Structure 1
Amino acid sequence: MTGRVHLIGAGPGDPELLTVRALRLLQSADVVVYDRLVSGEIMGCVPAGTRRISVGKAAGFHPVPQERINALLIELASAGLCVARLKGGDPTIFGRGGEEYEALIAAGIPCEQVPGITAAQGAALSAGIPLTHRGLATGLRYVTGHRARDAALDLDWASLADPQTTLVVYMGAANMAEIAAQLIRHGMPADLPVLAVSRATTASEQRLSASLSGIAAALEAKPMPAPVLFVIGHVAGLARDEALPLAALDAAPFCKLASHG
């Protein structure tokens, strides 16, 4: 009897930012296949007896290739199991959720995508800034700052260099000097505010503010754990000095309450 797979967004890290549906599916799954960026607090919401399989990746280190992850999900579901495939943020925002969904559907495996709060939203929430704000930003764009197999960044720099649009760069730490230089070369002000955030909404969150021309040097002087997300635009200038106290919440009572509510 064929099982099914739920591609679940874990959100940015704080377990209280899980959706109710995501939490319910986590607590009813036979097995949870999870990424490196899923926080320990969120994994604490998984029942103690549930099988867990880590398939986490880091930059330049992929112990479980994507093709093997796809095959693993198919194998587990084909064995009749209900699989929770747990990814940080939203599974379809630079999370390869689309690739896994296509592989599962092609194999005849029932699959549901469960959206999560994106890393960009979590980072902005924790810093107390809006990603769009009247008078400061008329639009919002998400781009990746890293290509597979370290390929060259072939982004449309002229299109991205709009100071009236908030630009969020995922996984951009290694290439931030090039990204900043290209944006300035194509018309973005050198003094445009930039906010860099690592491990947003968790107890180990780190944030760094600088200008567009100075962000690469600031990051070199104060390295942050990867992946680092960058908010580029006028709204980044509204960032609070201290993180909001979301990560101080104890996840255990929340998980227990939600599972019995």
Structure 2
Amino acid sequence: MTDPDETGRVYLVGSGPGDPDLLTVKARRLLEDADVVLHDKLPGPDILGLIPEGKREDVGKRAGGDRTSQEYTNERLVELAREGKTVVRLKGGDPFVFGRGGEEAEYLAAHEVPFEVVPGVTSAVAGPAVAGIPVTHRDHASSVTFVTGHEDPTKDESAVDWHALAATGGTLVVLMGVGKLPEYTRELREAGMREDTPVALVERATWPDQRVATGTLADIVAVRDEAGISPPAITVIGPVAGTRERLLAFLANGADAAATGGEEVDGE
């Protein structure tokens, strides 16, 4: 309930990859109880459909498209809380995995606004999983590295050392990296990663229109272009991406095209 005489509370909530069944129990309860929900573009239409239009505000961003500034979002969270409202800041995946949740938490703390972090199922793991790709595997990958493919454009240089990652081995999971796929796949090849390394692109993982495209480090850009894969999508690089073919026929969770009406696109 709104109490204008007291500072409200902000909940930084992860919505998971998009399937409402993958919301945590606490996340669903908070969506029901909140006075206002400030949401990104990534929670997905089925989750956003659970929230009455009158209490949700879109503060999302799209690569190359409309965007709400982070400064506005930060200030809006403080403003609403100081009005005594219970506020949910709803993010795709987990709020602290490339979701700017850390920045928002710092801003709230600096302005003495009570907040709580509610973790979500990160799409970095769930996206590959529903496509039949385990990010670790005893035979193929004993480590996994999560990388953002969309860094702060104001940085003087990238903080991601693709040459070091190529030498690390294991699985690379790149979030928000479809647009820069040509650049980092080239850097990985130049660093010595095998051109026949399996690669998978999972677009809109767990959403009704999920699509999966597979190829190799050498041809995945052409596969992406032919399929028209676009954000939001996850890139999985490494031998684990090759397990999908062996698992696809047996998946019972709707990851295969026959079950979902989605599309499968494979390289040579």
TM-score surpassing 0.5?
Answer: yes
TM (normalized to structure 2)? 0.86
Alignment check: 8 A CA contact 2:97 2:122 kept: yes
Deviation at 1:154, TM superposition (A): 4.5
1:17 pairs with 22, 25, 37, which one?
Answer: 22
Q: State the alpha-carbon separation in 1 of the partners of residues 135 and 243 from structure 2.
A: 10
2:150 paired residue number: 146
| Structure 2 residue 134 is the aligned partner of structure 1 residue 136 | no
Q: State the alpha-carbon separation in 1 of the partners of residues 113 and 40 from structure 2.
A: 21
Q: State the alpha-carbon separation in 2 of the partners of residues 49 and 171 from structure 1.
A: 27
Deviation at 1:226, TM superposition (A): 0.9
Deviation at 1:129, TM superposition (A): 2.0
2:72 paired residue number: 68
Task: Name stretches of at least 5 consecutive residues in structure 1 with no aligned partner.
Answer: 250-261
1:256 paired residue number: none
Q: State the alpha-carbon separation in 2 of the partners of residues 207 and 163 from structure 1.
A: 26
Which letter maps to 2:31?
A: L
Which letter maps to 1:197?
A: V
1:195 paired residue number: 200
Which letter maps to 1:223?
A: G
Q: State the alpha-carbon separation in 1 of the partners of residues 158 and 212 from structure 2.
A: 25
Deviations 1:72-116 (A, max 9, x none): 000000000000110001111111011111001100000111111
Alignment check: 8 A CA contact 2:178 2:230 kept: no
Deviation at 1:207, TM superposition (A): 0.7
Q: State the alpha-carbon separation in 2 of the partners of residues 206 and 106 from structure 1.
A: 41
2:218 pairs with 198, 213, 219, which one?
Answer: 213
Alignment check: 8 A CA contact 1:3 1:110 kept: yes
1:119 paired residue number: 123
The alignment partner of 1:53 has SS state of strand
| Structure 2 residue 86 is the aligned partner of structure 1 residue 82 | yes
Deviation at 1:123, TM superposition (A): 1.2
Which letter maps to 1:97?
A: G
Deviation at 1:185, TM superposition (A): 1.3
Deviation at 1:56, TM superposition (A): 1.3
Q: State the alpha-carbon separation in 2 of the partners of residues 100 and 61 from structure 1.
A: 22
| Structure 2 residue 12 is the aligned partner of structure 1 residue 7 | yes
1:255 paired residue number: none
Task: Name stretches of at least 5 consecutive residues in structure 2 with no aligned partner.
Answer: 1-5, 261-268
Deviation at 1:40, TM superposition (A): 1.7
- Percent sequence identity is 44
Deviation at 1:162, TM superposition (A): 3.7
Deviations 1:7-60 (A, max 9, x none): 0000000011111111111111111111111112112333x3761111111013
2:34 paired residue number: 29
Alignment check: 8 A CA contact 2:178 2:231 kept: yes
2:169 pairs with 164, 170, 179, which one?
Answer: 164
With 84-93 and 223-232 compared, the bigger mean Cα shift is at 223-232
Q: State the alpha-carbon separation in 2 of the partners of residues 171 and 155 from structure 1.
A: 14
The alignment partner of 2:180 has SS state of helix
With 71-80 and 58-67 compared, the bigger mean Cα shift is at 58-67
| Structure 2 residue 238 is the aligned partner of structure 1 residue 233 | yes
Alignment check: 8 A CA contact 1:14 1:202 kept: yes
The alignment partner of 1:224 has SS state of coil
Q: Structure 1 residues 221 and 167 mapped into 2: Cα distance closer, same or farther (>3 Å)?
A: same
Aligned length: 248
Deviations 1:197-238 (A, max 9, x none): 110011110110000111112112222131221010110001
Deviation at 1:63, TM superposition (A): 3.3
Q: State the alpha-carbon separation in 2 of the partners of residues 226 and 50 from structure 1.
A: 27
Alignment check: 8 A CA contact 1:30 1:50 kept: no
Deviation at 1:174, TM superposition (A): 1.5
Q: State the alpha-carbon separation in 2 of the partners of residues 38 and 206 from structure 1.
A: 17
**Cα RMSD over matched residues?**
2.1
Q: State the alpha-carbon separation in 2 of the partners of residues 14 and 161 from structure 1.
A: 32
Which letter maps to 2:38?
A: V
Q: State the alpha-carbon separation in 2 of the partners of residues 49 and 142 from structure 1.
A: 34
Q: State the alpha-carbon separation in 2 of the partners of residues 49 and 96 from structure 1.
A: 24
Which letter maps to 1:92?
A: F
TM (normalized to structure 1)? 0.89
Q: State the alpha-carbon separation in 2 of the partners of residues 39 and 222 from structure 1.
A: 21
With 154-163 and 90-99 compared, the bigger mean Cα shift is at 154-163
